[in-house]
């Protein structure tokens, strides 16, 4: 797909939209007296509105991720980026998306909220892309294919050649959600944005960076797509605290983040071995993320036993291809020890 074809995918009302212009957008240059936004003039630490364009934060993200700032959108969590993609590209009631299953639930929930029709072909038995099943589900009204790699809840990477196939063959957008990329034994799709105008990569500070409470999701895409997301977003979607703290972590805590990731990875591998030695466990799926999908001999029994011990895991046993499975996040060595001790008591 060529960059010129992106235009055709956008909703007409979004193309026509004249976006809200913030007080700070309406002047250029240096200001020392700000009487334009009805803010309180006294300093509370937060009396000023945040930068609606998040310029400093985006320069930092640009330096860390090696991608031009014009290709970055910052959202109030990835969930905001997902919602905005629907609002920019999908006409309610008529347009369609493809969400191969099992995967992250928000793609479908957000589709329903936006009244977008969802097709849900299955991934393969090993949770990889089934090209034929996906292409069979494509109609002239299909706007987006959502892929998640490493996939939640299965933990595996999707095959790059299959993603490439879809990028080449599908005349719409392909979203690759890389929420768990920092734990994965592979490289990001971000450097390939120049090759594929229809590629959209999602990342987040909620997982490896340990900043789930800050709510910062990132979307990397062709600058035209970024421009459309910016046009539709709430003007001040990233608050002052989040912009400041995310900037601080990205500039000063990169080494610490990598150390945390290394610890989680060695704990994940240790936890996988320990789980396999428990009689309640049937299978541990290979993982490129910070969690393990585990098939139990009796998932309900294990789940409720864990709850009684105060240990909460994610019950995925009613999800397509995940029958009998629990999804277990890798914790601290002590938490993982408690989990295994509890499991041995069954
Ligand atoms: C956790 C997760 C996210 C993160 O969402 P945020 O809104 O950024 O916290 C995104 N995608 C997937 C697949 C996830 O598992």
Tell the residue number behind the tokens 């062709």, with chain if given: 222
Query: What is the CA(3)–ligand 1 centre distance, in A?
Result: 27
Instruction: Report the pLDDT value the prediction gives residue 268, as an integer from 0 to 100.
Output: 98
Instruction: Say if residues 325 and 293 touch (Cβ distance below 8 Å).
Output: yes
Instruction: Say if residues 59 and 207 touch (Cβ distance below 8 Å).
Output: no
Q: For a ligand 1 pocket test, name from 73, 104, 149 the mutation site with the most ligand atoms within 8 angstroms of its C-beta.
A: 104
Token pair belonging to 340: 């295994």
- Does the beta carbon of 151 sit less than 6 angstroms from any atom of ligand 1? no
pLDDT in tens, 5-52: 999 999 999 999 999 988 878 777 888 899 999 999 999 999 999 999
Q: How many CB atoms lie within 10 A of CB 50?
A: 19
Query: What is the CA(125)–ligand 1 centre distance, in A?
Result: 23
The total number of residues shown for the chain amounts to 346
Nearest residue (CA) to ligand 1, atom 13: 104
Q: What is the full per-residue pLDDT of the chain (346 aa) written as tens digits?
A: 899 999 999 999 999 999 998 887 877 788 889 999 999 999 999 999 999 999 999 999 999 999 999 999 999 999 999 999 999 999 999 999 999 999 999 999 999 999 999 999 999 999 999 999 999 999 999 999 999 999 999 999 999 999 999 999 999 999 999 999 999 999 999 999 999 999 999 999 999 999 999 999 999 999 999 999 999 999 999 999 999 999 999 999 999 999 999 999 999 999 999 999 999 999 999 999 999 999 999 999 999 999 999 999 999 999 999 999 999 999 999 999 999 999 999 8
Is residue 165 packed enough to be buried (19+ CB in 10 Å), middle (13-18) or exposed (0-12)? middle
Question: Atom of ligand 1 at shortest distance to CA of 204?
Answer: 8
- Does the beta carbon of 178 sit less than 6 angstroms from any atom of ligand 1? no
Distances (CA, A) of 102 to 123, 152, 178, 321: 7, 8, 16, 7
Bond preceding residue 153 cis, omega within 30 of 0? yes
| Short-list 277, 318, 275, CA closest to 299 | 318
Query: What is the CA(181)–ligand 1 centre distance, in A?
Result: 11
Q: Which domains does the chain have, with CATH numbers?
A: 3-252 (3.40.640.10), 255-344 (3.90.1150.10)
- Does the beta carbon of 152 sit less than 6 angstroms from any atom of ligand 1? yes
- Separation CA 343–CA 64 (nearest Å): 41
- Separation CA 193–CA 22 (nearest Å): 30
pLDDT in tens, 312-337: 999 999 999 999 999 999 999 999 99
The model's pTM: 0.97
């Amino acid at each position: 797909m060529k960059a010129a074809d992106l235009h055709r995918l956008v909703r007409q009302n979004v193309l026509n939209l004249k976006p809200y212009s913030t007080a700070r957008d309406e002047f250029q240059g240096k200001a020392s007296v700000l009487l334009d936004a009805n803010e309180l003039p006294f300093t509370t630490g937060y009396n000023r509105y945040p930068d609606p364009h998040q310029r400093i934060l985006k320069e930092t993200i640009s330096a860390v991720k090696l991608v031009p700032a014009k290709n970055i959108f910052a959202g109030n969590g990835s969930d905001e980026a997902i919602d905005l993609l629907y609002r920019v590209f999908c006409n309610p009631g008529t347009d369609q998306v493809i969400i191969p299953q099992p995967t992250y639930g928000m793609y479908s929930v957000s589709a329903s909220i936006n009244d977008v029709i969802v097709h849900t072909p299955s991934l393969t038995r090993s949770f990889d892309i089934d090209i034929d099943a996906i292409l069979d589900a494509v109609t002239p009204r299909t706007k987006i294919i959502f892929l998640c790699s490493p996939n939640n809840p299965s933990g595996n990477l999707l095959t790059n050649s299959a993603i490439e196939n879809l990028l080449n063959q599908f005349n719409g957008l392909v979203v690759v959600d890389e929420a768990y990329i920092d734990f994965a034994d592979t490289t990001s799709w971000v450097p390939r944005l120049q090759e594929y105008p229809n590629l959209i990569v999602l990342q987040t500070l909620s997982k490896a960076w340990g900043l789930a409470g800050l709510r910062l999701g990132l979307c990397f895409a062709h600058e035209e797509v970024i421009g459309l997301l910016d046009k539709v977003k709430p003007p001040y979607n990233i608050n002052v605290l989040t912009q400041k703290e995310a900037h601080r972590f990205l500039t000063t805590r990169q080494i610490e983040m990598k150390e945390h990731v290394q610890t989680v990875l060695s704990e994940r591998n240790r936890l996988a071995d320990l789980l396999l030695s428990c009689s309640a466990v049937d299978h541990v799926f290979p993982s490129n993320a910070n969690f393990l999908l585990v098939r139990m001999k009796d998932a309900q029994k294990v789940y409720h036993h864990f709850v009684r011990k105060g240990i909460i895991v994610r019950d995925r046993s009613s999800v397509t291809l995940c029958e009998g499975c629990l999804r277990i996040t890798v914790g601290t060595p002590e938490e993982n020890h408690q989990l295994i001790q509890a499991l041995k008591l069954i």
